[in-house]
Amino acid sequence: MLGVFRHQANGARLIVSKFLGQGKGGCSVRRPFVHASPLSRGMADVAVVADKMNVRDALNSALDEELTRDPLVYVMGEEVGQYQGAYKITKGLLEKYGIERVRDTPITEMGFTGIGVGSAFYGLKPVVEFMSINFAMQAIDHVINSAAKMLYMSGGKISVPIVFRGPNGAAAGVGAQHSQCFAAWYGSCPGLKVLMPYDAEEARGLLKAAIRDPDPCIFLENELLYGVEYPMSAASKDKDFTLPIGQAKIMREGKDVTIVTFSRQVEIALKAADILAKDGISAEIINLRSIRPLDRPCINNSVRKTSRLVTLEEGWPQHGVGCEIIATICDESFFYLDAPPERICGADVPMPYAVNLEALAVPTMDDIIRIVKRCCHRGRAAA
Amino acid sequence: MAVRQALRRAGGRLLATQGAMAPAALGVAGRGLSTSAEPITLEIPVPFKGHNVEPPSRTVETSAQELTEFFRTMFVMRRMEIAADSLYKSKFIRGFCHLYDGQEAVCVGMEAALNDKDCIITAYRDHCTHLGRGGTVLEVFAELMGRKDGCSLGKGGSMHMYNKKGGFYGGNGIVGAQTPLGAGLAFAQKYLKVEGVTLAMYGDGAANQGQLFEAMNISALWDLPVLYVCENNHYGMGTAEWRSAKSPEYYKRGDYVPGLKVDGMDCLAVKQAVKFAKEYALKNGPMVLEMDTYRYHGHSMSDPGSTYRTRDEISGVRQERDPIERIRKLLLSHEIATVAELKTIEKEAKKEVEDALAKAKESPSPDSEELFSHIYRKSYGAQAYGADRKEVVVTLP
């Protein structure tokens, strides 16, 4: 089977391949076909940093700049190259950087993740894309046992500068096997850094930081945010713009209650805060950005100011991220609390497909408002 | 009526019996339409290719009844998938939707050689496979739309259709996982001394998964009655087989497990191969069957299917190898049916699909209580929580 790059007159590249027949009476598709590179159709261009960007383009620009900056960086995953990325995060990168640095893989997560980690042992800086972080479970042995623990086990000899990234958590109607949130599982693992951006600027800054970081980072994105546009600050357009790992951001200052959340729920919490403000409740919203390392000082300082805590996440409740946040407050700021902390989580069920059930399985704005009011001793008393 | 019942009557036992079944019993209309069970002998045009096994003969016995049923069943499946395409575009179906049109001959041909002691497990392109195992078009549509009358009560969705009574174990979203699961079904069949085999189906995309080889190794060691059926439609999402597999000769990939390459667009070839392989597996253990097939749609509804293959290729396969057209030609050339009679069958099939669709649209959403049902078979009074854990606490049923 031949795959040959040929340059067209207009400079675009055609990938010509032939299906060789299986001989006389062969069954397989035999006619040669020309696979036009999407670039030749004007489809794929690397994103340009602008005043407003969606999360997809922000991620794309981050990958582009880091691939330019450091020749040891390369991208690997299913459909990241010729297909331009299952969610188009890697569009234009194959055309710009070539197959050595943008690698399409077979559907073999365990295999290619192991390969990625091995190459990181040697000194390369892979960015491994999982089409869904749910598929990373096939490879989780390499993420944890091969990557996260290696520096420790080797007594400091072998570091693993790898980034694993992909869409995590609930999307819309993708069912039980494609909707799990892995923040808590990965967040419990020493040696791993776990990042969860919210808006486009964070996506860009945190991904660049993760790629430059010498330790294994798992970068949990959100599919529903890929197409959402956000304003970008002037600083964020710089090609060396990074955001610090391990630092949360206070999205909105308040004095009555601290809501700690991350990823898509940040947006919903901000809207809830507007509604709560009309009822006289001033909510401080903390966007974690980094599940591990957790910004404990930020959370504690906030709760010491507000004396109330509500955690908010989409993942399962038992042993979730909220549990660690509440434990941290109990450890360090217990006597500042005026009310028991509340945690808002996804329901304790595999994600159902039917739209009405799916809505019951993820926290809603109404849930947030009711629970925050309850925490502030407004509304109905707790059962 | 249940597709699979008809196929079973028309299929598995037909080679042994000579008795004709009353056409009316099959609900096949048409004056003069031959639905005789008299054996017709045909030659399979595309030869089998064997790996470490002598392929079966290309001479296959069928009948007017069987061929008619193939035609009708595949036509229903085709209409169902095309209707699903429209439903997705009108947003009745959400999430992922992977359509099977083009590949119908594989599941229909398989069913002609199987019975209810056999099991099938496949990945997410499962709507037609579910139908073949006794599912109804109504429960497929209702499931796709997330309604109560769906085969998984609306909780599974497109990728998660099951029918344990019919020996269908899904419906799996994680590519490759179904292959060791299938070996497990075969393990249980052997353990319980059931005279049945399991068909563990996977695509060319999944064919490189390590767990497939782990399953093959164990099933060969333990002589498990499992058939690894690779539905090779030549593209794993956007990746052509030659870009993902060093050796795309999937029927050889079992190495010590023998394999057969089959024209997957020919119901009769599939039936012959599965019949042969089933006999083999019950005595000797696993075999690989590579079905050379093709999907007309893209990988899923969010893939146009034309960025990695040409429209000429797609229409070329449709013209030269479409499984329904192949059977149509046989029916006409053997004077089993006239053009008009086939049109009648098509009309009835369309109506069956339309009626099921209308009924599915009327089916309500599942009740809220279903959120917490079927977490455990036995819950010991465990509690589960909703998003607001103080408001929504449920003792699991």
CB distance from A1 to chain B under 8 Å? yes
pLDDT, mean of residues A362-379: 90
- Select the residue from B106, B237, B270, B385 to test the A interface by mutation, using most A Cβ atoms within 10 A: B385
Of B28 and B60, more confident? B60
Q: How many CB atoms lie within 10 A of CB B103?
A: 27
Q: Which residue has the tokens 């003792």?
A: B395
Question: How far is residue A366's CA from residue B388's CA, in Å, rounded to a whole number?
Answer: 10
> In total, how many domains does chain A have?
2
* A175 contacts on B by Cβ (under 8 Å): 95-96, 156-160, 173
Instruction: State the pLDDT confidence band at A26, using cuts at 50, 70 and 90.
Output: very low
- Percent of chain A at pLDDT exceeding 90: 86
Per DSSP, the three-state class of A276 is: helix
Question: How far is residue A40's CA from residue A34's CA, in Å, rounded to a whole number?
Answer: 12
Q: Whole-number mean pLDDT of chain A? A: 89
Q: Does residue B276 register a pLDDT over 70? A: yes
Question: How far is residue A175's CA from residue A164's CA, in Å, rounded to a whole number?
Answer: 23
CB distance from B307 to chain A under 8 Å? yes
Q: Does residue B291 register a pLDDT over 80? A: yes
CB distance from B156 to chain A under 8 Å? yes
Q: Does residue B90 register a pLDDT over 70? A: yes
Half-sphere exposure of A194 (CA within 13 A, CB side): 26
Q: B315 is in which domain, residue-wise? A: 3-366
Task: Answer for the pair B288, B230: CB distance below 8 angstroms, yes or no.
Answer: yes
- Helix (H) or strand (E) holding A303, with range, is helix A296-306
Flag if B172 and A33 touch (Cβ within 8 Å): no
Burial of residue A237 (CB within 10 Å: 0-12, 13-18, 19+) is: middle
CA B94 from centre of chain: 22
* B143 contacts on A by Cβ (under 8 Å): 353
Specify if A381 maps to a domain: no
Flag if B146 and A355 touch (Cβ within 8 Å): yes
* B372 contacts on A by Cβ (under 8 Å): 347-349
Of A9 and B341, more confident? B341
pLDDT, mean of residues B296-323: 96
Specify if B388 maps to a domain: no
pTM summary value: 0.88
Of A6 and A273, more confident? A273
* β-sheet bridge partners, residue A292: A194
* CATH number, residue A334: 3.40.50.920
Instruction: Identify the active-site residue in A78, A142, A178, A313.
Output: A178
Q: Which of A10-24, B145-159, B307-321 has the lowest mean pLDDT?
A: A10-24
Closest CA to B360 of B154, B60, B196: B154
* A173 contacts on B by Cβ (under 8 Å): 94-96, 146, 157
Q: Does residue B24 register a pLDDT over 90? A: no
Specify whether A314 is catalytic. no
Supply the pLDDT for residue A61: 98
Supply the pLDDT for residue B32: 60
Question: How far is residue A290's CA from residue A169's CA, in Å, rounded to a whole number?
Answer: 16
Specify if B393 maps to a domain: no
Which residues numbered 53-112 in A keep a CB inside 8 Å of some CB on B?
Answer: 78-79, 82-84, 86, 104-108, 110-111
B384–chain A nearest CA distance, Å: 5
Flag if B371 and A347 touch (Cβ within 8 Å): yes
Q: If you ran DSSP here, which 8-state letter would residue B163 be given?
A: B
Supply the pLDDT for residue B5: 54
Whether the bond between B203 and the residue before it is cis, its omega within 30 degrees of 0, is no
* A138 contacts on B by Cβ (under 8 Å): 174, 176
Question: How far is residue A231's CA from residue A53's CA, in Å, rounded to a whole number?
Answer: 7
Distances (CA, A) of A108 to A87, A111, A381, B138: 19, 5, 51, 35
pLDDT, mean of residues B300-308: 95
Which residues numbered 265-324 in A keep a CB inside 8 Å of some CB on B?
Answer: 317
Flag if B308 and A172 touch (Cβ within 8 Å): no
A86–chain B nearest CA distance, Å: 9
Flag if B384 and A349 touch (Cβ within 8 Å): yes
Per DSSP, the three-state class of A218 is: strand
A332's CB contacts (< 8 A; 6+ apart) are A296, A300
Which tokens belong to B148? 């109560």
User: Residues of A334-358 as b/e, b for ≥16 C-beta within 10 angstroms?
Assistant: eeebeeebbbbbbbbbbbbbbbbbb
Which residues numbered 151-210 in A keep a CB inside 8 Å of some CB on B?
Answer: 171-178
Flag if B312 and A361 touch (Cβ within 8 Å): no
Of B210, B385, B390, Cβ closest to residue A110: B210
Of A107, A342, A348, Cβ closest to residue B206: A107
CB distance from A40 to chain B under 8 Å? no
Supply the pLDDT for residue B35: 81
Closest Cα in chain A to B249: A22
- What ipTM was reported for this prediction? 0.86
Residues A57 and A166 in one domain: yes
Instruction: Identify the active-site residue in A65, A78, A95, A109.
Output: A109
Question: How far is residue A45's CA from residue A66's CA, in Å, rounded to a whole number?
Answer: 16
Residues A320 and A211 in one domain: no
Q: Does residue B288 register a pLDDT over 50? A: yes
Residues A294 and A272 in one domain: yes
Residues A228 and A294 in one domain: no
Specify whether A109 is catalytic. yes
- Helix (H) or strand (E) holding A212, with range, is helix A200-212
Q: Whole-number mean pLDDT of chain B? A: 92
Q: A262 is in which domain, residue-wise? A: 249-376
Residues A75 and A183 in one domain: yes
CB distance from A336 to chain B under 8 Å? no
pLDDT, mean of residues A235-241: 97
B286's CB contacts (< 8 A; 6+ apart) are B183, B186, B216, B219, B220, B224, B225, B226, B227, B228, B254, B257
Specify if A383 maps to a domain: no
Cα R_g (chain A), whole angstroms: 23
* CATH number, residue B273: 3.40.50.970
Residues A20 and A150 in one domain: yes
- Polymer length in residues for chain B: 397
Question: How far is residue A248's CA from residue B264's CA, in Å, rounded to a whole number?
Answer: 55
Residues A256 and A176 in one domain: no
Supply the pLDDT for residue A377: 81
* Per-residue model confidence as pLDDT tens digits over A239-258: 999 999 999 999 999 999 99
- Percent of chain A at pLDDT exceeding 70: 87
- Percent of chain B at pLDDT exceeding 70: 92
* Per-residue model confidence as pLDDT tens digits over B380-390: 999 999 999 99
The amino acid that residue A97 corresponds to is: Y
Q: How many CB atoms lie within 10 A of CB B130?
A: 27
Q: Which of A291-300, B29-38, B171-180 has the lowest mean pLDDT?
A: B29-38
> In total, how many domains does chain B have?
1
Q: Does residue B123 register a pLDDT over 50? A: yes
Residues A286 and A189 in one domain: no
Flag if A174 and B96 touch (Cβ within 8 Å): yes
Supply the pLDDT for residue A187: 98
Closest CA to A14 of A32, A28, A35, A33: A35
A215–chain B nearest CA distance, Å: 27
Question: How far is residue B186's CA from residue B192's CA, in Å, rounded to a whole number?
Answer: 10
Residues A63 and A192 in one domain: yes
* B175 contacts on A by Cβ (under 8 Å): 107
DSSP labels for B105-147? Answer: HHHHHHHTT--TT-EEE--S--HHHHHHTT--HHHHHHHHTT-
Query: C-alpha angle with apex A265: B97 to A241, nearest 5 degrees?
Result: 100
* Per-residue model confidence as pLDDT tens digits over A117-128: 999 999 999 999
Question: How far is residue A316's CA from residue B391's CA, in Å, rounded to a whole number?
Answer: 16
- Polymer length in residues for chain A: 383
Which residues numbered 207-246 in B keep a CB inside 8 Å of some CB on A?
Answer: 208-210, 232, 234, 236-240, 242-245
CB distance from A351 to chain B under 8 Å? no
Question: How far is residue A207's CA from residue A165's CA, in Å, rounded to a whole number?
Answer: 9
* CATH number, residue A40: 3.40.50.970
User: Residues of A127-160 as b/e, b for ≥16 C-beta within 10 angstroms?
Assistant: bbbbbbbbbbbbbbebbbebbbbbbeeeeeeebb
CB distance from A115 to chain B under 8 Å? no
Closest Cα in chain B to A37: B307
CB distance from A21 to chain B under 8 Å? no
Specify if A243 maps to a domain: no
Whether the bond between B45 and the residue before it is cis, its omega within 30 degrees of 0, is no
Asked which of A237, A266, A299 is the last residue of a domain, the reply is A237
Question: How far is residue B286's CA from residue B212's CA, in Å, rounded to a whole number?
Answer: 12
Query: C-alpha angle with apex A367: A365 to A372, nearest 5 degrees?
Result: 100
Q: If you ran DSSP here, which 8-state letter would residue B251 be given?
A: G
Instruction: State the pLDDT confidence band at A10, using cuts at 50, 70 and 90.
Output: very low
* A342 contacts on B by Cβ (under 8 Å): 390
Task: Answer for the pair B137, B76: CB distance below 8 angstroms, yes or no.
Answer: yes
Specify if B383 maps to a domain: no
pLDDT, mean of residues A361-374: 96
Strands (E), A101-221: 102-104, 125-129, 163-167, 193-195, 217-221
Q: Does residue B168 register a pLDDT over 50? A: yes
Question: How far is residue A373's CA from residue A339's CA, in Å, rounded to a whole number?
Answer: 11
Which tokens belong to B156? 């599974």
pLDDT, mean of residues A11-31: 37
Residues A34 and A139 in one domain: yes
* B245 contacts on A by Cβ (under 8 Å): 106
Flag if B146 and A19 touch (Cβ within 8 Å): no
pLDDT, mean of residues A173-182: 97
CB distance from A381 to chain B under 8 Å? no
Supply the pLDDT for residue A383: 43
Specify if B80 maps to a domain: yes
Which residues numbered 330-389 in B keep a CB inside 8 Å of some CB on A?
Answer: 365-366, 368, 370-372, 375, 384-389
* B48 contacts on A by Cβ (under 8 Å): none
Supply the pLDDT for residue A23: 36
Residues A168 and A147 in one domain: yes
Residues A221 and A262 in one domain: no
Asked which of A214, A237, A260 is the last residue of a domain, the reply is A237
Question: How far is residue A91's CA from residue A59's CA, in Å, rounded to a whole number?
Answer: 10
Asked which of A179, A208, A237 is the last residue of a domain, the reply is A237
- Helix (H) or strand (E) holding B214, with range, is helix B210-221
Flag if A361 and B371 touch (Cβ within 8 Å): yes
Instruction: State the pLDDT confidence band at B251, using cuts at 50, 70 and 90.
Output: very high
Flag if A353 and B95 touch (Cβ within 8 Å): yes
